[in-house]
């Protein structure tokens, strides 16, 4: 049997890994099935059209194709191999072309339009009416009304974008994994926390080396830059990190120009002034100008605090003898000095919290909190079929009645064949009684020498964030699958708001227990953490705003970058968002997979993180006022925000929960003193 055509609810992923070439005939089968489903709609007489056999049928026409394509790309993200890449490369043009052709099919569009003009359509209400409206917009915004030659050009552009963005991601992964800092002298470990040293020892052992190996993966890189006393080695790590995918065989700069050019061409064909305007029409911001104004408004609110924080850090470095008066800060010293300053001013060392966050306790507490708020229960399940790695665990999620909402895989530890960062992905939706399937992935430092995996507070926040995404998608209960796609500047609200429960004493008392003694976080340590909570808050915000700014500028004014010196253009635009340091700091662009590692991704939409953060800070104020573990408020949030998906306009959904439009004030107050 074809490995990618398994019928079981939870497939055998090892068979797919071992037989990636099976994806090629499986995708052909799925495309054939989807084509037949669409042909059935096109063959209907106008008088026989109904919501079920046209709109809903189209909405579900590609389910098998979606599932196989998702599985193949998922495997590349967690178990990358040459054979998987080969399968994706060979199938991408045909799959991309098929998807692109759906919403420019004249006959199909005529059937959807004919139904939309019928009395049956005019009598629709609720989710069915909303799906019809959204489907019509899908056709219109995809170019269904364009001449045939323009449609063909759009299809070719989409194929090219899919291939180029895939190559961009591969370059980032390969370049990241190509660097290893191998240390053999224990003196070079000075300042590093035990967890970082233990992980480096394990990395070296895995590579058959003596000593310690540090990589550019986040669990290795971040502690090294914050704690390693050796300035020389911090500089080597920084130079390697900031040069990822920026030269040689992994150089992504040419791809950036090519991707921007293709996106520009696509927006012109579709009659939009920019790619940003094209992408944002159906999001809360509506257009690129509004998103840019939002970023500028936040910049102005944080600018003075950002300048103060930079001056304070420099003065601290001088006062402690790290820096000579009059010298500029080195970028590889900034994280190190910042951590020293935080420890000095707040009497807080972030590593002191790590022993209170053993992975299993964090998971258990997280599941309990989500259960209190949203009435879901989570239980670990035995794997009914092999996952892609032995470390992967399986969980089920049920509602109050005990009905299964879905299953999710948990893949928490770094591997050389796994992409960096953390993410949530839906592998298949729930429909017609079939539970959903998803994954939460992260790159957490593994436990060594009998010590369980101990998380940093940032990693705890990340888990709550990604689980927020998962529960959002599990709870969306519209019978129309197309209404479970949420505007990208709203979709981060359900995830980002959950990070607040990792900062509150009442919530922490549920799960933050010392891995050996079981004792809760001492009050003195918690007080120190709260003192440090806003430490360098404006700096962190400005960094995110800089990413959003360059994203929007690139997709509103691509002519400033295409075929030009991309770094020089970015440097000029980002001057108000960055500090002057001893050397020029390369931009994130050649490794910015959010923007260029997917044919759409967060392109022209990175501002969504801050947009949603405004929403989450504002919405959390209601929990603070009425009880952060108040099931009544949690139930309202679930009912009015999580369940509705895209069946309700996101602005209206937020106002339904809060009783008013969102305000910026809560975010500013939460971030800076």
Catalytic positions are: 466
Closest CA to 553 of 235, 268, 296: 296
Q: How far apart are CA 434 and CA 415, in angstroms?
A: 32
Which 8-state DSSP code applies to residue 659?
S
Give the span between the Cα atoms of 539 and 302, in whole angstroms.
9
Helix (H, G, I), strand (E, B) or coil at 440: strand
Give the Cα separation of 492 and 612 in Å (integer).
5
457: Cβ contacts below 8 Å, ≥ 6 apart: 350, 353, 354, 357, 502, 529
- Count of residues making up the chain: 673
Query: Rounded CA gap, 85 and 91, in Å?
Result: 10
Using CA atoms, how far residue 608 sits from 1, 117, 366, 545, 649, in Å, is 43, 35, 25, 10, 16
Contact criterion met (CB below 8 Å) for 478 and 127: yes
User: How big is the CA angle at 546 (ends 545 and 547), to the nearest 5 degrees?
Assistant: 90
Give the distance from CA 175 to its chain's centroid.
21
Residue 27: φ, ψ to 5°: -70, -35
Residue 440 in tokens:
């939460």
Distances from the Cα of 52 to the Cαs of 56, 61, 131, 289, 611, in angstroms? 5, 12, 11, 39, 36
User: 179: exposed, middle or buried (C-beta count within 10 Å: 0-12, 13-18, 19+)?
Assistant: middle
Q: Burial letters for 269-290: b for 16+ Cβ neighbours within 10 Å, e otherwise? A: bbebebbbbbbbebbbbebbbb
Give the contacts of 121 (CB within 8 A, at least 6 positions apart). Answer: 51, 115, 132
């Amino acid at each position: 049997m074809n490995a990618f055509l398994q019928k079981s609810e939870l497939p055998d992923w090892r068979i797919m890994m071992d037989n990636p070439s099976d994806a090629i005939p499986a995708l052909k089968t799925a495309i054939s099935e989807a084509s037949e489903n669409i042909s059935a709609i096109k063959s209907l007489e106008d008088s026989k059209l109904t919501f079920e056999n046209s709109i809903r049928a189209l909405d579900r026409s590609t389910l098998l194709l979606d599932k196989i394509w998702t599985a193949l790309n998922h495997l590349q993200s967690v178990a990358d191999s040459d054979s998987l890449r080969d399968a994706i490369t060979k199938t991408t043009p045909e799959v991309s072309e098929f998807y692109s052709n759906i919403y420019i099919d004249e006959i199909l569009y005529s059937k959807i339009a004919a139904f939309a003009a019928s009395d049956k359509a005019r009598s629709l209400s609720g989710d069915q009416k909303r799906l019809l409206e959204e489907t019509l917009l899908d056709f219109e915004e995809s170019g269904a009304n364009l001449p045939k030659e323009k449609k063909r050009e759009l299809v070719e552009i989409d194929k090219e974008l899919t291939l180029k963005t895939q190559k961009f991601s591969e370059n980032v992964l390969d370049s990241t994994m190509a660097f290893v800092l191998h240390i053999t002298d224990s003196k070079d470990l000075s300042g590093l926390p035990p967890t970082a040293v233990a992980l480096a020892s394990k990395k070296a052992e895995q590579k058959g080396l003596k000593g310690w190996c540090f990589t550019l993966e986040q669990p290795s890189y971040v502690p090294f830059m914050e704690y390693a006393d050796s300035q020389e080695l911090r500089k080597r790590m920084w130079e390697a990190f900031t040069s990822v995918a920026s030269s040689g065989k992994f150089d992504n700069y040419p791809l950036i120009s090519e991707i921007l050019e293709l996106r520009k061409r696509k927006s012109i064909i579709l009659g939009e002034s920019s790619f940003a305007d094209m992408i944002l029409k159906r999001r809360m911001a509506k257009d690129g100008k509004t998103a840019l104004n939002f970023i500028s408004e936040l910049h102005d609110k944080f600018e003075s605090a950002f300048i103060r924080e930079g001056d304070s850090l420099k003065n601290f470095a001088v006062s402690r003898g790290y820096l000579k008066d009059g010298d500029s800060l080195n970028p590889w010293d900034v994280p190190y000095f910042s951590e020293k300053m935080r420890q000095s001013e707040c009497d807080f060392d972030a590593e002191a919290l790590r022993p209170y966050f053993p992975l299993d306790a964090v998971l258990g507490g997280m599941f309990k909190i989500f259960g209190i708020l949203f009435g879901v229960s989570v239980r670990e399940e035995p794997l009914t079929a092999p996952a892609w790695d032995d470390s992967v665990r399986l969980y089920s999620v049920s509602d109050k009645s005990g009905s299964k909402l879905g299953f999710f895989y948990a893949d928490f530890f770094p591997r050389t064949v796994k992409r960096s960062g953390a993410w949530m992905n839906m592998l298949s939706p729930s429909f017609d009684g079939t539970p959903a399937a998803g994954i939460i992935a992260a790159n957490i430092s593994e436990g060594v020498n009998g010590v369980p995996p101990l998380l940093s507070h940032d990693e705890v926040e990340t888990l709550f964030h990604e689980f927020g995404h998962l529960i959002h998608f599990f709870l969306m209960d519209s019978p129309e699958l197309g209404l479970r796609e949420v505007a990208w500047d709203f979709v981060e609200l359900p995830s980002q708001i959950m990070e607040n429960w990792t900062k509150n004493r009442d919530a922490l008392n549920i799960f933050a227990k010392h891995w050996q003694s079981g004792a809760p976080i001492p009050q003195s340590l918690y007080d120190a953490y709260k003192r440090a909570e806003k430490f360098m808050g404006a700096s962190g915000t400005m960094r995110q705003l800089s990413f959003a700014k360059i994203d929007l500028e690139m997709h509103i004014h691509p002519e400033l970058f295409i075929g030009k010196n991309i770094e020089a253009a970015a440097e000029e635009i980002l001057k108000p968002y960055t500090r002057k340091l001893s050397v020029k700091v390369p931009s994130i662009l050649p490794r910015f997979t959010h923007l260029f590692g997917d044919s759409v991704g967060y392109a022209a939409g990175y501002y969504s993180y801050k947009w949603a953060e405004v929403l989450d800070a504002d919405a959390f104020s209601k929990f603070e006022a009425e009880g952060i573990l108040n099931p009544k408020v949690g139930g309202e949030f679930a009912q009015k925000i999580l369940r509705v998906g895209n069946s309700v306009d996101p602005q209206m959904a937020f106002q339904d929960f809060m009783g008013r439009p969102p305000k910026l004030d809560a975010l500013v107050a939460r971030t800076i003193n």
